[in-house]
Amino acid sequence: MFMSAVIITDALWGDSGKGKISAYLARAENASYVVRCGTGTNAGHSLYFGKNLVKLNQLPLGGLANPKSQIRIGSGVVVDPEIFLREIKEYHLQKRTKIDFRCAIIEPRHKQAESNDSNLSKKIGSTKTGTGFARAEFIMRRARQAKDVKELKGFTSDAAKEINDACLKKKTVILEGSQGTFLSLALSPDYPFTTSDNCTTLALADDAGLNWKYIKDVVMIVKAVPSRVGEGPMPFELSSEEIEKRDIREYGVTTGRPRRKAARIDWNLLKYATMLNGPTQIALTFCDHFDLEVKGVREVKGLTAKVKNLIKKVEKVTQTPVTLVETGKDFEDIIALKR
């Protein structure tokens, strides 16, 4: 289906299962490359493979899911060498993983500075991963890059070139985004309650150095029951009692913080996200939180009227087909809709 690049982007505030959809597509579409885009190690992508919960902060989950895929980190992503080396070792990915040689490096002092900065750590609710400080130093032209780090020797490449070359040969390349549209530094209306870069479709393409002509599809993830971690506005926010009552608690992968949750999608925000991202397909995730009855359903005929109506509404607002529906935590809890 995707003969070249597919970008996986997030409509709202992240934590929507981009990594899982990337993993699903990496397998289904036999991706040649899966590229981690987005800001840095502030993102936490997690997924149950069978009984094993895999959590990644630096690598793309899609790359792990398909042993035939090459894994890359785009030059726009900041890299924490300690986390990178730990993840490739833990999952035996040394042979098929490379970082773009231009990636800026997160130093221990960046993490320290972020924790010590009360504006970031308290008011904004930063993940304290050093991502923002490393980016700031990069902009000041003082950062080290991946090519300057001894421990990363052998793990760097010109990822932008490899990716564009693969696209030219009509191979499937997946760009796995992180964060979400309304955490974008310069496009969210909520500044300063944002992350340290934009996270929309073209920002992600830029993180990888992808030529726009190779973009074949944009899969925008829409979380059926939106959530937000850290501070900043979220329409229709539920109280913690209500979250408890509905049995839809969630915790951040990176920080372990409870996620704030909304009663429903704000249709105006979704329209705005559609305008910014230009999706060609929608993946509607966390449908089991929207209607507990569809938990673990793996066939279209098991979907309830409530969820089917939500699909219709999302399609109407976005003018884009919903092609994937997620109904639970397991890897197999994804239904592909024929469109």
Q: Based on the residue annotation, tell me whether 148 is a catalytic residue of this protein.
A: no
Residue 156 β-bridge partners: 99
Tell me: does residue 134 bind ligand IMP (CB under 6 A). no
Tell me: does residue 100 bind Mg ion (CB under 5 A). no
Tell me: does residue 16 bind ligand IMP (CB under 6 A). no
Residue 177 or 279 having the CB closest to Mg ion: 177
Write down the least CB distance from residue 115 to Mg ion, Å. 23
Closest CA to 65 of 4, 94, 24: 24
Instruction: Give the C-alpha separation, 322 to 233, whole Å.
Output: 27
Q: Which of 2, 11, 15, 144 binds ligand IMP (CB under 6 A)?
A: 15
Residue 129 β-bridge partners: none
Residue 172 or 188 having the CB closest to ligand IMP: 188
Catalytic residue selected from 15, 197, 207, 291? 15
Contact status, residue 175 vs residue 210, Cβ threshold 8 Å = yes
Tell me: does residue 184 bind ligand IMP (CB under 6 A). no
Contact status, residue 335 vs residue 297, Cβ threshold 8 Å = yes
Please give the residue whose beta carbon sits closest to Mg ion in the complex.
Answer: 76
Q: Other C-beta atoms within 10 Å of 296: how many?
A: 12
Write down the least CB distance from residue 145 to Mg ion, Å. 15
Tell me: does residue 229 bind ligand IMP (CB under 6 A). yes
Which DSSP helix (H) or strand (E) runs through 174? strand 173-176
Q: Based on the residue annotation, tell me whether 45 is a catalytic residue of this protein.
A: yes
Tell me: does residue 209 bind ligand IMP (CB under 6 A). no
Give the helix ranges, DSSP H, for 140-222: 159-168, 201-208
Write down the least CB distance from residue 300 to ligand IMP, Å. 30
Q: Which two tokens stand for residue 38?
A: 């987005």
The torsion defined by the Cα of 142, 147, 151 and 156, in degrees rounded to 10, comes to 140
Tell me: does residue 60 bind ligand IMP (CB under 6 A). no
Closest CA to 336 of 277, 292, 282: 282
Q: Which of 100, 197, 217, 326 binds Mg ion (CB under 5 A)?
A: 197
163-182: which residues touch ligand IMP (CB under 6 A)?
Answer: 178-179
Write down the least CB distance from residue 229 to ligand IMP, Å. 4
* Interacting residues with Mg ion (CB under 5 A): 76, 197, 207
